[in-house]
Amino acid sequence: MNTLENCVQKLKPKNFSFPVKDILTESFQIWSKILFLGIFSMLFTFSLISLGMLLCNNYWNISSIDNEFLIALKNIPLKNTYYNNINSSKEIWNIYYNYFSNPYIIIRFLILLVIKILISPLYSGVIYCAYKYDNFGKASFNDLISGFEGKRFLNLIVLNTIYLIIMICSIIFMYIPMIFFAPAFTLAGAFVAIHNISAFKAIKYSTKIAYINFGKMFFLTFIIFLTGNFLGTLLMSIYAFIFTIPFSLVIIYIIYKKIIGYNFFYKSSAEANEK
């Protein structure tokens, strides 16, 4: 049994006894030091997705389909009577069904999904940059793109593909399955980014950690969601995500470090530095 697995096996609920305030404070300190690397990762990601969207819209004239969908929704009369609300709900359902069953919408969705999966190692790159800066005092562009190297790239692609498939399937059940799956996957990316282990081992370790103290892990995952997604949405600007998403990724690293423990963590850091 390897050292990392030993460490995970020995974890107890007491390993989660750290205040959220400390996590946010440490995360902010590291985030501010790797800010430009985080901004670059988000700008590159958004630019590539926007380019994919633009090419799809122009090639298949999907913009007109989008406009018809929005106009159809806007023209639905919503009245206060129970009967009319039922009819409106049925009409809304038909509009959504016709829109999302359109083959061109499906093709665009799949293309954008592939782009998102292929670019996802940049997210793990931000986690790795946080690790490098915290342990070695510096992080570089090469650290940011380390997720695109060899087996680490393949493992991150597999990991993100599994996660997106689960997330898409959970839409059918009103995202309820994500209550259980999101905490279980929270640290998987950090395991792959820092230790370059297989995606399935990363999921195994992350899941085991989550269910040692599920309540605390669920709360921490909720904090990550608030800082990375909800805060950006609340500010009603895509530019806000350029700052909030990297910050949430640094939070993942800090949670990972505190749970795994300093003894193992700094030993691993020293070994990585020697290599």
Give the position of tokens 């680490």.
Answer: 152
* CA angle centred on 256, ends 253 and 260, rounded to 5°: 145
Q: Distance between CA atoms of 225 and 182, rounded to whole angstroms?
A: 10
- The pLDDT of residue 78 is 57
Residues 198-204: contacts with CB within 8 Å, 24+ apart? 198/155, 199/155, 199/156, 199/158, 199/159, 199/162, 200/158, 202/155, 202/159, 203/159, 203/162
Q: Distance between CA atoms of 127 and 139, rounded to whole angstroms?
A: 11
**H helix intervals, the chain:** 3-9, 20-33, 35-60, 62-74, 82-100, 103-119, 121-136, 141-144, 150-172, 178-185, 188-195, 199-212, 214-225, 231-234, 238-260, 262-274
One-letter amino acid at 233 equals T
CA nearest 154: which of 204, 190, 194, 117? 117
Per-residue pLDDT of the chain (275 residues; tens, 9 = 90+): 458 888 888 888 888 888 999 999 999 999 999 999 999 999 999 999 999 999 999 999 999 999 999 898 888 765 544 445 556 677 888 888 999 999 999 999 999 999 999 999 999 999 999 999 999 999 999 999 999 999 999 999 999 999 999 988 888 887 888 889 999 999 999 999 999 999 999 999 999 999 999 999 999 999 999 888 877 676 667 788 899 999 999 999 999 999 986 545 545 544 444 44
pTM, two decimal places: 0.87
- The pLDDT of residue 262 is 54
Residue-wise DSSP of 167-205: HHHHHHTTTTTHHHHHHHHTTHHHHHHHH---HHHHHHH
Q: How far apart are the first and last CA of the chain?
A: 22
CA nearest 37: which of 153, 136, 132, 163? 132
Domain residue extents for the chain: 3-33+121-266, 49-119
Structure tokens at 43: 């700008």
Structure tokens at 163: 């996660």
**Distances, alpha carbon 37 to alpha carbons 100, 131, 242, 246, in Å:** 36, 13, 11, 9
Count CA atoms within 13 Å of residue 235 on its CB side.
14
The answer to whether residues 30 and 229 touch, using CB atoms and an 8 Å cutoff, is no
CA nearest 124: which of 164, 98, 160, 91? 160
